[in-house]
Structure 1
Amino acid sequence: METLRAAVIDDEANARQALISLLRILCPDVVVCGEAKNVDTGIELIRKEKPNLVFLDIQMPGKTGFDLLSSFDTIDFGVVFTTAYQEYAVKAFRFSAIDYLLKPVDPDELQAAVEKFKVQHDSVNPQQLKILQEHIQNPQPAGLKQRTRNDNQRIALPTAEGIHFVQMTDIIQCESLGSYTKFHLVGSKPIVVSRLLKEYEEILDNYYFFRVHQSNIVNLEHIKRYVKGDGGQVWLSDNTEVEVSRRRKEEFLELLSDFYVNSGKIG
């Protein structure tokens, strides 16, 4: 059994002790090589102990977890963020494909995060951090009427080959393949991700994407034509045709109208 060395960095002593206790009970192959209560002591701890995995709080007094990571030229250790943030932060983590644990830490989720790291040994890519930081600092409001244009937004798509960083404007549609989601893209091969379409429906629901059918989420920016019918069909920019389910038709047409007005394509 391979032993992992872990560091716990959090300004709350109770949170540190709770996490360390869970690791000792649930993950006997993880050795906690140290803990720190702020960013500066956390940097010293990492440089001295060289842990494989760091459990890192985002929001700490004075400096953030992002500040800690930016102090390293190369991040050669795994990171699992711990956070008390809810909702919008969860969406931000999903956008960036970075592992996280919500406080109070769920034992099953902790075990899953450790097991995932043991298999993949992933470190954090700077592009992932940038995407995460953008979404944490600029949370999107919830609600159908408050959609945001897809411009200049990126999403991290984790695959067996590695993480792909994709401009949201380049996503034509997302297609369900059972427990996988296939991203159809402009000018490149599709990308298949081992996540359910429903998860991406939740991630993208503040942008101009819409689940027109059980199997398809379309990017409204790539709709070239809507054909009326029981539910109707949309023709996309890659000349594919996607059915619109009857029960989603009214909401879809309302959002499509909103998109055209806000984009200035029609008055």
Structure 2
Amino acid sequence: MNPPLRAVLIDDETNAREALTHLLHLIAPDVEICGEAKNADLGIELIQKERPNLVFLDIQMPGKSGFDLLSSFGKVDFGVIFTTAYQEYAIRAFRFSAIDYLLKPIDPEELQAAIARFKGQAGSVNPQQLQILQEHLDTAPTSPRLVQRKKNDQQRIALPTAEGIHFVQMTDIIQCESLGSYTKFHLVKGPAIVVSRLLKEYEEILDNYYFFRVHQSNIINLEHIKRYVKGDGGQVWMSDHTEIEVSRRRKDEFLSLLSDFYVNSGKLK
């Protein structure tokens, strides 16, 4: 019999802690709640005392934030599931970092799925994941209307696999290929990385950058296009010598984005 999963709840909202406690009792009775804290300082003391496996952590709290709490530990040797009121635009930041999160009010099925993912990985949060998350939250637009595509350089993405987290520069991604419920990342160097997530999820993550889903099975990095061949939908030849079909219904949007990319990157042909 596996030992109980020991967890603590850190959130400045009493109602939020009570609601999460109630849900955990209902759907995850094997999770032992060994303490609660209403701010980061008390949370630090609680973690040091109880040594939990898992911390449910709010990001925005009066005084110190959830990030401040984590940075106070030389090594984060516990799992973290962020509980947050951030909406839509910031969800992309969590997905970039491969750090689990729950949107308030917390959905029971999402909570159950997050706990199952933690049990499957049973890993701590890597400092690089936190850095990626903070970078993307800091640069998130205040309004969806302000969203503009960004250059791929200096951006990283965390790719979770059974072997661990891979940190990849986005400029090194040539294309993402659908393998059913998996996504295969083709890279400039090294072997491809296969992630247990749908291509659609990465389409949403990469939507603000110069990546485009040209076909049901492929998202391509515009930086790695070597040639476009006209046709019904056309074909793109990539830097790794692969040829990828462009679907007819995506052709016009693709060519418009490609033109925009060359204008903004100074790579007019």
TM bucket normalised to smaller = over 0.9
Match of 1:172 in 2: 174
Task: Give the partner amino acid of 1:195.
Answer: R
Equivalent of residue 187 in structure 1, options 156, 170, 189: 189
1:152 matched to 2:154? yes
State the AA in 2 paired with 1:139: A
Please report the TM-score for the alignment, with normalisation by the length of structure 1: 0.97
Return closer, same or farther for 1:58/1:145 CA change in 2, 3 Å cut-off.
closer
**Deviation (angstroms), 1:115:** 2.0
How far the C-alpha of 1:137 sits from its partner, in A, is 1.1
1:126-156 deviations in whole A, cap 9, x for unaligned?
A: 0000001111111157579821000100000
- Aligned counterparts of 2:117 and 2:246: Cα–Cα separation in 1: 37
CA distance in 2 between partners of 1:194 and 1:143 (Å): 31
Q: CA deviation at 1:246?
A: 0.6
CA distance in 1 between partners of 2:225 and 2:87 (Å): 33
SS at match of 1:146: coil
- Alignment of 1:62 with 2:51, yes or no, is no
Cα distance in 2 for partners of 1:142, 1:233 equals 32
Give the length in aligned residue pairs.
267
What is the Cα-based RMSD across aligned positions, in Å?
Answer: 1.4
Distance 1:119 1:264 in 2: 45
Letter matched to residue 219 of structure 2: I
Moved more, 105-114 or 205-214: 105-114
Deviations 1:19-40 (A, max 9, x none): 0111112111111111001110
Judge conservation of contact 1:144–1:205 (CA < 8 Å) in 2: no
Q: Work out whether residues 144 and 206 of structure 1, in 8 Å CA contact, stay in contact via their aligned partners in 2.
A: no
- Provide the residue aligned with 1:119 in structure 2: 120
Verify: 1:39 aligned to 2:40, yes or no.
Answer: yes
CA contact (8 A) 1:143 1:206 kept: no
- Map of 1:28 onto structure 2: 29
Whole-angstrom distance in 2 between the partners of 1:177 and 1:112: 22
Amino acid at match of 1:236: M
User: What corresponds to 1:209 in structure 2?
Assistant: 211
Structure 1 regions of 5+ residues with no counterpart?
Answer: none
Instruction: Please report how far the alpha carbon of residue 63 of structure 1 lies from its aligned counterpart in structure 2 after TM superposition.
Output: 1.3
Offset of residue 112 of structure 1: 1.4
Q: Which of 143-152 and 69-78 deviates more?
A: 143-152
Query: Could you say what secondary structure the match of 2:83 adopts?
Result: strand
Q: Is the 8 A contact 1:172 1:219 kept in 2?
A: yes
Per the TM alignment, residue 119 of structure 1 is displaced from its structure 2 partner at its CA by 2.6
Q: What is the percentage of aligned positions where both structures have the same residue?
A: 78
Cα deviation digits, residues 10-69 of structure 1 (max 9, x gap): 010100111011111211111111100111000000001111110000011111100000
Per-residue deviation at 1:89? 1.7
User: Quick one: distance in 1 between partners of 2:199 and 2:52?
Assistant: 35
Cα distance in structure 2, aligned partners of 1:39 and 1:257:
48
Matched, 1:247 2:225: no
- 1:49 corresponding residue in structure 2: 50
The letter of the residue matching 2:12 is D
CA contact (8 A) 1:142 1:206 kept: no
Q: Which letter does structure 2 place at the counterpart of 1:85?
A: Y
- Tell me the secondary structure at the aligned position of residue 225 of structure 1: strand
Cα distance in 2, alignment partners of residues 180 and 117 from structure 1: 19
Alpha-carbon offset, residue 234 of structure 1: 0.5
Aligned to 2:98: 97
* Structure 2: gaps of 5 or more residues: none
1:260: how far off? 0.1
The CA distance in 1 between the partners of 2:254 and 2:130, in whole Å, is 33
Task: Tell me the residue number matched to 1:265.
Answer: 267
- Measured in 2, the distance between the counterparts of 1:145 and 1:86 equals 14
Which digits, 9 at most, give the CA deviation of each residue in 1:137-181, with x for residues without a partner? 111575798210001000000111111000000000001111111
Letter in 2 for 1:96: S
Rounded to whole Å, the distance in 1 between the matches of 2:36 and 2:98 is: 25
Return the letter of the residue paired with 1:182: K
